[in-house]
Amino acid sequence: MAEFTPEKCKQIALARLDVVNKWIEYRKKSQYKLQADYDFVKLHNTSNSHLFEILGKISRGSLHRWYTMLNGTEDYTKLLPQYKYSSVNDYRTVLNDEEIKIFMGLLLHPNRLSIGKVIALTKYRLKEQGQSFIPADITFRRYAKWFKDNNYDKWILARDGEKALSDKVELYIKRDASLLEVGDILVADGHKLAFQVINPFTGKTCRATLVGFLDWKSTALVGYEIMLEENTQCIASALRNSIINLDMIPKVVYQDNGRAFRAKYFTDDKGFTELGFQGLYSKLGIETVFARPYNARAKVIERFFKEFQEGFEKLLPSYIGSSINNKPAYVMRNEKFHKNWHCNYVPTIEETIKMIDMWLSFKNSQPCPNAPNKTIAEVLEERKRQNVDINTLDDLMLATEVKTIQRNGIRFLNCDYFNESLYGFKSKVLIKYNLFDLTSIKVYTPKGEYLCTAERVTETHPMAKLLGDVKDYEDYKQKIVKQRQLKKKTVESVKKYLETEDIKLLETKVETQNDLPPFKTASKRVQTLFKNNSEKYEYLIIHNPQDEWIAEFKKTKEYRLLYE
C-alpha cells in the first residue's frame, strides 16, 4: 500500500528545516559554539514565533540530530516524523480482523441496527467465543465513524439501498434549463393530495390524486387533472388541459418510467406502453421520454410538489397529512381540544380547482429560477402560441362509464345535460368530460362515433313571470319555445307515417272541438284528444292559428300564467 504524508507532517518537517538553517546561521556569528547552541535553544523556546507554534520546545540534541539526518542536503522529507499515519483506506485500530468482521456484519445490516445495539451484540458474541480481552465501546464507535466517513457509498448502499445511493452519493448531472423554450419539455408526475375533498360521484370525502404537467423552462404547472378513482385516462386528460392552457403542443413529455408511474397510483401493473398513450402522444407529434429508475433528482416536478404541500395543502382545514409523521393534531386520538376547535369544512372538486388556480397565480408571480430578473408568469407569457384546435384533443379527454339517455337528456353528477340531437333517443351512449369545465359534456356512441356536445340544463324559477327577474322570465320563455319546437318536430315526423284517412280523421276531431264553447268538454271522444286547454292551444297555434278559440283563450288568467 502506498505511503502518504499528512499535511501536518509536512509542516513539521519544513519547520525543522527552517530551525536548523537558522541555528547554523546563529552559530556562525559566535566564537563559542556550545554556548551558541544553548542560547539559540533558549531564544526559540521563549519566543512566540510561527516555528514555535508548530514545533513547540526543542533541545540542543534535537538540533544536532536533525542536522545529521539532513546530511548536508535541503531535503525536508528526511526530517519527517518517523511514526506512521493511517491512510483513508487503512485505519489503525486495536480491533483485529475477526472483531471487525463481526462488528461490520451487524453494522451494515439492511435493518439498520443502532450502533449501540451493534456494539452490545458484537461484545456478547466475542464473549461467547471465549475471547478474554474485549475492546471498549469507544473503540468500536471510532471505527464505525471512520468507516462511514471514508466509505460512505458502501454505508448507504448496505443500510439504505440503491435509491438512497442514487439520491445521496452518486454524481448527478446539472442541466441548463435556460437553453430550453417554454413548451419544449413538460415533466409529468402525480401527487397524492394531503387534504380531503368531496367525491362528486359518491358524495363522500376522499384523498384525490393530482396528476400534473410542469413546464421545465418556466417551472409553471401548466395543466393538471384531479383523479378521484383509479382512471388511467386522467394522465391523458391532464396533458389535454396543459395543451389548452399553453395553446401549444409540447415537443417532449418527460415522466417517470412507465411501470413505476402506474405503480404509484394504480393497483394493476401495466406499463405506459401497454395503455395506448404512446399512440395518442405520437399522433400529436409528442416524443415521450422516461426517467431511469431511482433517478429522483431528474424529476424537477417533485420540488414543485414539496412547495405545493408546504404553501397550499397545509393551509386547508381538511388537511390530514401525507403520512403518520405529519398528521395534524385534530386527527389524533384523544385530542378533544383540537377536534372541537377544528373547522370541518371539506371542499368540493370545483372549489378545490379554484383554490389551486389561485395558489398557482401566486406561485407564478415568484422569480423564475431559469430566467434571471423575470417571474414565472413572465417567462410563461413568452411562449409561441399555436392556436391549437381543441377538437383535435378529444381523444385525450377523460372518459367515464356508459350512460342512458333519459327524458331530460343525460344525468351526470346530479345534473342534466341536453342537446337537441338527443331528443327522441333512449339508448346507451359514452360521455367524455373535463372536471375543469362541467358546463358541457361530449357524447359518443358506444362505438366511439361523435354525436354532440350536450350543455348542462339549468333549473327554472318556479314563478318566473310574477316573482322572478327579467333573466328568469327570459330563461322560462326560451325553454317553452324549445318544448314547442321539439313537439312540432315529432308531430310533423309522425304525419309521414299516418295514412291520409287518419290525418283527415284527426282534423275532423279538431273541427268538432272548435264548435264547442271555450274550456268545456262536449263528449268523451273529444276529451281523449286534448287533456287540457294548454294542449289544445299548442295544437291549434300550429295547425289552425286563425281559430277563434285561441283569441278567447288568450284573454284568460290561465294563458297569462302559462305563456306570458
Q: Which residues contact 423 (CB under 8 A, 6 or more apart)?
A: 486, 489
| Contact predicate 380/180, CB 8 Å | no
Q: Which amino acid is at 159?
A: R
Closest to 435 measured CA to CA, from 144, 212, 234:
234
What are the tens digits of pLDDT across the range 164-184?
888 888 887 777 888 889 999
pLDDT at site 519:
45
Question: Residue 265: is its pLDDT beyond 60?
Answer: no
Longest pairwise C-alpha distance within the chain: 159
| Contact predicate 278/272, CB 8 Å | yes
Confidence of residue 270 (pLDDT cuts 50, 70, 90): low
Q: At 206, is the secondary structure helix, strand, or coil?
A: strand
| Dihedral sign, Cα of residue 67, residue 72, residue 78, residue 82 | negative
Confidence of residue 29 (pLDDT cuts 50, 70, 90): confident
| 515-524 contacts at long range (C-beta below 8 A, 24 or more positions apart) | 518/549, 518/552, 518/553, 519/553, 519/556
Q: Report residue 325: phi and psi, to 5°.
A: -80, -25
| Contact predicate 375/364, CB 8 Å | yes
Question: Residue 97: is its pLDDT beyond 80?
Answer: yes
Question: Residue 420: is its pLDDT beyond 70?
Answer: yes
Question: Residue 408: is its pLDDT beyond 70?
Answer: yes
pLDDT at site 328:
82
* Burial class, 261, CB count within 10 angstroms (exposed 0-12 / middle 13-18 / buried 19+): buried
The predicted model scores a pTM of 0.59
| Contact predicate 398/434, CB 8 Å | yes
List Cα–Cα distances, 208 to 194, 222, 230, in angstroms: 9, 19, 10
Closest to 289 measured CA to CA, from 445, 385, 175:
175
pLDDT at site 524:
40
Closest to 287 measured CA to CA, from 240, 265, 255:
255
What are the tens digits of pLDDT across the range 349-359?
999 999 999 99
Say what the alpha-carbon torsion angle 132, 133, 136, 139 is, to the nearest 10 degrees. -130
Cell readout for 117 is: 445495539
The CATH architecture annotation of domain 397-456 reads Roll (2.30)
User: What is the rounded CA–CA span in Å between residue 181 and residue 215?
Assistant: 9
8-12, 187-191, 220-224, 262-266: the lowest-pLDDT one: 262-266
- 404 sits in the region (left: phi over 0; alpha: psi -120 to 50; else beta) called beta
Question: Residue 51: is its pLDDT beyond 70?
Answer: yes
Cell readout for 373 is: 430578473
pLDDT at site 466:
66
Question: Residue 549: is its pLDDT beyond 80?
Answer: yes
- Note the CATH number of domain 180-381: 3.30.420.10
Three-state secondary structure along 380-421? HHCCCCCCCCHHHHHHHCEEEEEEECECCEEEECCEEEECHH
User: What is the rounded CA–CA span in Å between residue 514 and residue 499?
Assistant: 23
Confidence of residue 210 (pLDDT cuts 50, 70, 90): very high
Confidence of residue 363 (pLDDT cuts 50, 70, 90): very high
What are the tens digits of pLDDT across the range 461-498?
677 666 667 676 677 777 777 778 777 777 777 777 66
* Burial class, 562, CB count within 10 angstroms (exposed 0-12 / middle 13-18 / buried 19+): middle
Question: Residue 526: is its pLDDT beyond 50?
Answer: no
Cell readout for 414 is: 346530479
Please, what is the Cα angle at 149 between 143 and 151, to 5 degrees?
A: 90
* Burial class, 317, CB count within 10 angstroms (exposed 0-12 / middle 13-18 / buried 19+): middle
Question: Residue 200: is its pLDDT beyond 90?
Answer: no
Average pLDDT of span 499-506: 53
Confidence of residue 514 (pLDDT cuts 50, 70, 90): very low
* Burial class, 231, CB count within 10 angstroms (exposed 0-12 / middle 13-18 / buried 19+): middle
- DSSP symbol at 375: B
Q: Report residue 390: phi and psi, to 5°.
A: -60, -30
Cell readout for 546 is: 286563425
Question: Residue 509: is its pLDDT beyond 60?
Answer: no
pLDDT at site 335:
78
Cell readout for 429 is: 351512449
